[in-house]
Every structure is written in C-alpha cells, then in structure tokens.
Amino acid sequence: MTADTLDSAGTDGGTHWAPGEHILWRYRGNGTDRVHICRPVTVVQDTDELLAVWMAPGTDCVKPRLTDGTSIHEEPLATRYTKPRTTVVSRWFGTGVLKLARPGEPWSVWLFWDRDWRFKNWYVNLEEPLARWAGGVDSEDHFLDIAVYPDRSWEWKDEDEFAQAQRAGLMSAGQAERVRAAGRDAVACVESWGPPFAGGWEEWRPDPSWTVPRLPEDWGRSPARLGA
C-alpha cells in the first residue's frame, strides 16, 4: 500500500471502503497530532451504521516504546507517561482481532479468539470517535476500557492507567468525566445487549483468500480527510 493507494482508498464514491480493502487504524499520542500506533487492517464491512475491520496475525504494526528501549507496559506506572518515547515496528504475533466501530461513538469494540477460534471476549476500547481520512481512521485512546465475557458479564480494565494519565496531565478532570460517562453509556449498551454485541460477530471468520496488509512507509502521514 503506497501513498498513492492511500489517497485512493474508499472506492464507494469516496464514502465507504469495500470489503477486502486495506486501510490503517491509527491512534495519536494523547494531546498531540503525532501518530504513535498504526495497524494495517482489512475492511470486513463499511456502512453508515458500522465499520468492521480485521487485523490479521502476522501484521507489522507501529507501537510506542520508551527511548531507552523499555516496553511501555514494563515501565512502572508512576513514570510510564512521563519518560521520552519513540515508535517501533513490531509484528502482531497473537491471534487476529476483529474491530467494530459505529460512527460518532466514543468507543470501539474488539473481539478476541483463541487459536482454535474459541471465542474469548469482547473488549470496549474507550477513545475519540473515529475520524475517517483517505487511508483509514484515526483516534486517540482514553486509557479506560471494559472487558465483556461470553456470559455477558463485564468489568472495568486499566483503571490504574486512567488515573495515572490524569496525574500526568494527559487528561483534564473534565475530559476524564466525559470518558467515564462514555464508559457508563457503553456499559448500558452491554447490559441491554445492543449493537454490536447482539450482531453474532463472534461467529464471524475472515475470508481465507485475504492477504496480510503491509505497513506503508508513510504510515505516519498527515491525514487527508475524505471529501476534502
């Protein structure tokens, strides 16, 4: 996928991507315009109601790392968000991830399976609503998450990181309350078993003919918005 193909993505009149197209699912660093997470994915479905993409095993992705070489999650929480960072390319060695996002919603829902396709759980990633651009979608992660299990039980995740991000100045008190409110809305969706949880996506499987998307050299480029 080159810069030229990134500019031409979205074949349905520039509005929707077709199943099988390769796009980028990216996150900016909190409070910056710099992309620090980039995951090439394959479009499963793209409609006015839902964007569904598949991140295949073996995908080369961009992720943050401390400049001293330490993995982010190996760094003590107290200094995790204050030490200098860089980005590295790392291959996704786990099972694939199906990501679902509804337009304007401040979270996306990720589905995880074991290697034998036994469904493990849904994961609600609280984040800025996805912003579409010619080559994919951008967001900013909000630290707090929700795990949802096959029996429909749920639990908050990463509350310690959410609190530390506020202490480190990455999130104001007002924004933190908006994120909490979004989380409560997501929990209400889980408890009513609304979309996308009721969509049967845990039975979905990728097209065996799909190839693993490659990470383009210009993965961190400034986005050109669709329709601009």
Residue 224 lies inside a defined structural domain of this protein: no
Residue 64 belongs to some domain of the structure: yes
Structural domain count of the chain: 1
Question: Which domain covers residue 168, as residue numbers?
Answer: 3-200
SS3 label, residue 105:
coil
Asked whether residue 220 is domain-assigned, the answer is no
CATH number for 66: 2.40.380.10
pTM above 0.75, yes or no: yes
182 or 11: which leads in pLDDT: 182
Q: How far apart are CA 46 and CA 10, in angstroms?
A: 10
Asked if 90 contacts 61 with a C-beta cutoff of 8 angstroms, the reply is yes
* pLDDT single digits (tens) 180-224: 999 999 999 999 999 999 999 999 999 999 999 999 999 999 986
